[in-house]
């Protein structure tokens, strides 16, 4: 398989783009080699600039639940473009998509659209602080909520709960109100509340997708809800990645835990840049122009993104049963790969929720980021490279999640499993 054109494209990109990419993970640094540059997507496949085709298990990191260039979504976008790309003024398309989103969630009465998941989370936290009149927030190590300053933190040393900046350019003062807890560990959250009586919100990925795929335990989420209620603190579910992917009615529908605020993205844009946050009417009433908490955006709710999102969610609503099919395929994929790995003496941990899946080369179950960091990164890199060479595109980091689209067939799943078996055998025979 030749990747000469991708190599040339990457070299050229590095001359004008930092690292040659516009999002760090795309640089392939954790898996080695040169990132492939894409020329086209169609259905389940990506085609790179060298003409190589890959079955795509990334699907633009989640939004393409119906695969690349879905006809109904593409048609909606092209029709919207005919009327204009952006107005900076209200359109009926915003209301139509808002009603659709609200209809899926028991926890949401109203929703505000923005342009990215980072923006959605940043705004949700500001809203929580404005509603509670408190400053501190709690997040979990390994959960990613975008790259806003207050959320780029790492654990403090010893018994210190408050986080320190994990990136240059983030002043310590910006993270001094961010407390860190351990995912699936309620005692660590209790310590945060013991250290502060000024906690506005706890934000969590109920189905984490950025420390690898690690769903939260139901019991943990129920205890978290009780703890928030006892302290007058809002609970935010960050479902930018898992929303409409793990289940069409939100994590609340499969965990029984109702959050106060939900952040969304990915699927609600159908491939266009969109984020959103929603809550019950009482909380959303604090948001400008109704209330004093300010949030704005020129491209928020732009008509092209709204059209794509409405087409995507409408199709999903009409074909809700497809989620069971996607989950079955995801389970078949990871169980098949796990069995193939076991034949070569390689241990894998796997999990699935809806159309999301994940795997770790780890001897023990993964419950938090500390567990995830014990995974065999070298094995993952070898597996990723081997599968890429055979025409299968997986996330280029062991700390990311995989996705099944409706364009991926049962036959493609079997092809992938067979290829994985060959890759594992080759790895062990080196």
pLDDT digits (tens, 9 = 90+) for 255-287: 999 999 999 999 999 999 999 999 999 999 999
Q: How confident is the model at residue 162 (pLDDT cuts 50, 70, 90)?
A: low
Catalytic residue among 45, 54, 57, 144: 144
Q: How confident is the model at residue 150 (pLDDT cuts 50, 70, 90)?
A: confident
294 is catalytic: no
Q: Check pLDDT > 60 for residue 157.
A: no
Token digits of residue 230: 């006892």
CA distances from 424 to 55, 326, 413, 430 (A): 18, 25, 16, 10
d(CA 262, CA 252): 10
Q: How confident is the model at residue 163 (pLDDT cuts 50, 70, 90)?
A: low
Q: Check pLDDT > 70 for residue 95.
A: yes
Query: How remote is the C-alpha of 28 from its chain's centroid?
Result: 18
d(CA 212, CA 373): 10
- Which pLDDT score, from 0 to 100, does residue 164 have? 65
8 is catalytic: no
Q: Check pLDDT > 60 for residue 158.
A: no
User: Mind giving me the DSSP string for 293-315?
Assistant: B----TTTT-HHHHHHHHHHHHH
> Which range among 83-87, 160-164, 332-336 shows the weakest confidence by mean pLDDT?
160-164
User: Mind giving me the DSSP string for 59-104?
Assistant: TTTTT-TT-BT-HHHHHHHHHHHHH-S--SS--HHHHHHHHHHHHH
376 is catalytic: no
- Which pLDDT score, from 0 to 100, does residue 356 have? 98
Average pLDDT over residues 384-408: 96
pLDDT digits (tens, 9 = 90+) for 238-249: 999 999 999 999
Residue 67: name the closest of 297, 320, 267, 291 by CA: 267
Catalytic residue among 139, 266, 315, 382: 266
Phi, psi at 141, each rounded to 5° = -55, 130
- Which pLDDT score, from 0 to 100, does residue 349 have? 98
pLDDT digits (tens, 9 = 90+) for 22-44: 998 899 998 998 999 999 999 99
pTM here is: 0.95
- Which pLDDT score, from 0 to 100, does residue 160 have? 41
Q: How confident is the model at residue 159 (pLDDT cuts 50, 70, 90)?
A: very low
Catalytic residue among 56, 238, 351, 371: 238
Average pLDDT over residues 399-411: 97
- What is the 8-class DSSP label of residue 293? B
- Which pLDDT score, from 0 to 100, does residue 166 have? 77
Q: Which domains does the chain have, with CATH numbers?
A: 4-69+321-429 (3.90.1150.10), 71-318 (3.40.640.10)
């Amino acid at each position: 398989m030749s990747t000469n054109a991708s190599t040339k494209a990457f070299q050229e990109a590095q001359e004008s783009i930092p690292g040659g990419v516009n999002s760090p993970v795309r640089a392939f640094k954790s898996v080695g080699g040169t990132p492939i540059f894409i020329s086209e997507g169609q259905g389940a496949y990506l085609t790179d600039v060298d003409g190589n085709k890959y079955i795509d298990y990334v699907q633009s990191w989640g939004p393409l639940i119906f695969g690349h260039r879905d006809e109904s979504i593409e048609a909606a976008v092209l029709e919207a473009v005919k009327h204009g790309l952006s107005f900076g003024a209200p359109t009926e398309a915003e209301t139509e998509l808002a009603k659709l989103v609200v209809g899926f969630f028991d926890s949401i009465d109203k929703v505000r659209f923005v342009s990215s998941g980072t923006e959605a989370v940043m705004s949700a936290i500001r809203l929580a602080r404005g509603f509670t009149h408190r400053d501190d927030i709690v997040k979990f190590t390994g959960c990613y909520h975008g790259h806003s300053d207050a959320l780029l933190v790492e654990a403090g040393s010893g018994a210190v709960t408050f986080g320190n900046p994990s990136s240059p350019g983030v002043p310590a003062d910006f993270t001094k109100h961010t407390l860190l807890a351990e995912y699936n560990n309620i005692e660590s959250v209790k310590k945060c509340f013991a250290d502060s009586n000024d906690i506005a919100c706890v934000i969590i990925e109920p189905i984490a997708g950025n420390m690898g795929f690690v769903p939260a335990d139901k019991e943990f989420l129920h205890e978290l809800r009780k703890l928030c209620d006892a302290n007058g603190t809002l609970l935010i579910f960050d479902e930018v990645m898992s929303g409409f992917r793990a289940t069409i009615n939100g994590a609340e529908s499969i965990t029984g835990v109702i959050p106060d605020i939900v952040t969304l993205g990915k699927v609600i844009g159908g491939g266009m840049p969109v984020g959103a946050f929603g809550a019950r009417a009482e909380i959303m009433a604090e948001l400008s122009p109704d209330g004093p908490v300010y949030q704005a955006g020129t491209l928020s709710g732009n008509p092209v993104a709204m059209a794509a999102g409405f087409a995507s969610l409408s199709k999903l609503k009409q074909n809700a049963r497809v989620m069971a099919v996607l989950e079955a395929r995801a389970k078949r994929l990871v169980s098949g790969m796990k069995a193939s790995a076991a034949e070569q003496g390689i241990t894998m941990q796997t999990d699935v929720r809806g159309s999301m899946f994940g795997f770790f080369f780890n001897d023990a179950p993964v419950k938090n980021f500390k567990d995830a960091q014990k995974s065999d990164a070298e094995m993952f890199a070898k597996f990723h490279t081997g599968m890429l060479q055979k025409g299968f595109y997986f996330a280029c980091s062991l700390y990311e999640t995989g996705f099944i689209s409706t364009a991926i067939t049962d036959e493609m799943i079997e092809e992938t499993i067979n290829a994985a078996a060959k890759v594992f055998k080759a790895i062990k025979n080196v």
